[in-house]
Amino acid sequence: MRTGSLPPGSVVRAPGRANLIGEHTDHTDGLVLPVAIDRTVRLTVEVSGGDRIRLTSAQAPGVVDVAADGSEVPADGWGRYVAAVAAELTGLGRDPVGLTGALDSDLPQGCGLSSSAALEVVVGTALCLAAGFGLEPLQLAAACRRAEHRAVGVPSGIMDQAASILGRRGQAVLLDCGTLEHRTVPLPADHALLLIDSGVRRQLETSGYAERSRELAAALPVLGGRRPLEVDPAELDDLLADVDAVPARRLRHVVTENARVGRVVAALEAGDLVTVGRCFAEGHASLRDDYEVSIPELDGLVDLAGEAGATAARMTGGGFGGAIVALVPVDRADDVAAEVVDGARARWPQREVVAHRCSAVDGAGLLT
């Protein structure tokens, strides 16, 4: 059995992510533009010499103790992610090298910053290092994505895991979810990233997403096999003329959203933040009116951020709750955050609205 290099005291880290734009585009092989953020899951870890994976977490009770080949699946809890990642890597040929470690995280859970993907990626990275098992970044991302499905039955896209692995300091990651082609896109150095959590948890997520997907699928045949990203929004009126109103709106969102990703990338590269702001506003309106996944709290947070001086703001993540993302001039970032949070608390006293000021960081790896 092969053992790799993971000396005692090694620390592996994996960041969470925020999606700048490209929402509900991944399931139809479209474009997304996530950022790996400086909120991370860290794992202090060493090779144990046995064939068990034993982990604790500062954020969760108990000890996870599973077979290093992932063959034992806990009935519930965060150990399911650990076992599922191990099982996926075993399927790819990783030797069942055990490890012992302690997790710690400053990435809030359940508010759409993808703590589950960061957990999968940190465990996957450590398991690969422990066994001297080399995988291409996107192979690891795909294994972690399958692990999420295996662990909790959520058939999500590859964006979250890919962002946690491919992220670069000061950059966003443009990813084509169909071809998996990707490249980095510079973020404005004089702007900070604000993520403002509405405090509303995504209760409708599973049923709501499935319903949207079904409605979208009903409209897709009019594309004659083209991906939505291959369609010019100017074609939509003709294409959708005979499509029922609801499926038509779902497809309108996906086609225009792919186009907006392209426009945001071009604008970021040209330093044209006015256009970025306009695209974010259009993207939010499209999620609210055409895809219908926003909620009043997210609409309100976007308005408050604009009034407080954000350059660009929109809801981020799947919707039905979660957070907004805003680009804000660095020297105004703390003031804008405070103003939005105060305004939101005045409107919704029962909500725990929290602002996270973030920056773009490198993807997962070993801390030296």
Residue 219, helix vs strand vs coil: helix
Residue 226, helix vs strand vs coil: coil
Q: Does 112 bind ligand ADP (CB under 6 A)?
A: yes
Q: Which stretch binds ligand ADP (CB under 6 A): 114-122, 133-141, 294-302, 352-360?
A: 114-122
Q: Which stretch binds ligand ADP (CB under 6 A): 4-12, 113-121, 220-228, 240-248?
A: 113-121
For the residues of 243-311, what is the DSSP string, one character each?
S-HHHHHHHHHHHHHHHHHHHHHHHHHHT-HHHHHHHHHHHHHHHHHTS----HHHHHHHHHHHHHT-S
Q: Does 164 bind ligand ADP (CB under 6 A)?
A: no
Nearer to ligand ADP, 162 or 259 (CB): 162
Nearer to ligand ADP, 123 or 174 (CB): 123
For the residues of 13-74, what is the DSSP string, one character each?
EEEEEEESS--S-GGGT-EE-EEEEEEEEEEEEEE-SSSEEEEEETTEEEEEEEETTS----
**Cα dihedral 55, 58, 63, 64 sign:** negative
Q: H or E element: which one contains 316?
A: strand 312-316
* Minimum CB–partner distance for residue 264 and ligand ADP (Å): 23
Nearer to Mg ion, 96 or 318 (CB): 318
Q: Does 286 bind ligand ADP (CB under 6 A)?
A: no
* Minimum CB–partner distance for residue 350 and ligand ADP (Å): 21
Please tell me which residue in 38, 69, 160, 197 is annotated as part of the active site. 160
Give dist(CA 119, CA 41) in Å, integer.
Answer: 6
Q: Hey, what's the torsion of the CAs at 29, 278, 325, 200, to 10 degrees?
A: -90
Nearer to Mg ion, 112 or 343 (CB): 112
Q: Does 43 bind ligand ADP (CB under 6 A)?
A: no
Q: Which stretch binds ligand ADP (CB under 6 A): 5-13, 107-115, 214-222, 298-306?
A: 107-115
Q: Which stretch binds ligand ADP (CB under 6 A): 20-28, 108-116, 180-188, 210-218?
A: 108-116
Q: Does 256 bind Mg ion (CB under 5 A)?
A: no
Q: Are 31 and 229 spatial neighbours (Cβ–Cβ below 8 Å)? A: yes
Residue 137, helix vs strand vs coil: helix
Give me the phi and psi of 363, to 5 degrees please: -70, 180
* Minimum CB–partner distance for residue 116 and Mg ion (Å): 3
Among positions 116, 198, 256, 258, the unique one binding Mg ion when judged by CB under 5 A: 116
Nearer to Mg ion, 154 or 330 (CB): 154
Structure tokens at 245: 């109103």
Nearer to ligand ADP, 111 or 243 (CB): 111
Q: Does 57 bind Mg ion (CB under 5 A)?
A: no
* Minimum CB–partner distance for residue 219 and ligand ADP (Å): 28
Give dist(CA 152, CA 161) in Å, integer.
Answer: 15
31-32 sheet: strands from edge to edge? 31-32, 171-176, 182-186
* Minimum CB–partner distance for residue 14 and Mg ion (Å): 13
The option from ligand ADP, Mg ion, none interacting with 312 (CB < 5 to 8 A, set by class) reads none
Q: Does 164 bind Mg ion (CB under 5 A)?
A: no
In DSSP terms, 367 is beta-bridged to 11
Q: Does 209 bind ligand ADP (CB under 6 A)?
A: no
- 176 is an active site residue: no
CB-based contacts of 334: which residues, under 8 Å, 6+ apart? 357
Strands in 171-221 per DSSP E: 171-176, 182-186, 191-197
Give dist(CA 141, CA 272) in Å, integer.
Answer: 32
Nearer to ligand ADP, 10 or 116 (CB): 116
Q: Does 122 bind ligand ADP (CB under 6 A)?
A: no
Residues in region 257-276 near Mg ion by CB under 5 A:
none
List contacts with Mg ion (CB under 5 A): 116
Q: State the residues that interact with ligand ADP by CB under 6 A.
A: 41, 57, 59-60, 78, 103, 105, 109-110, 112-116, 119
Enumerate the active-site residues. 160
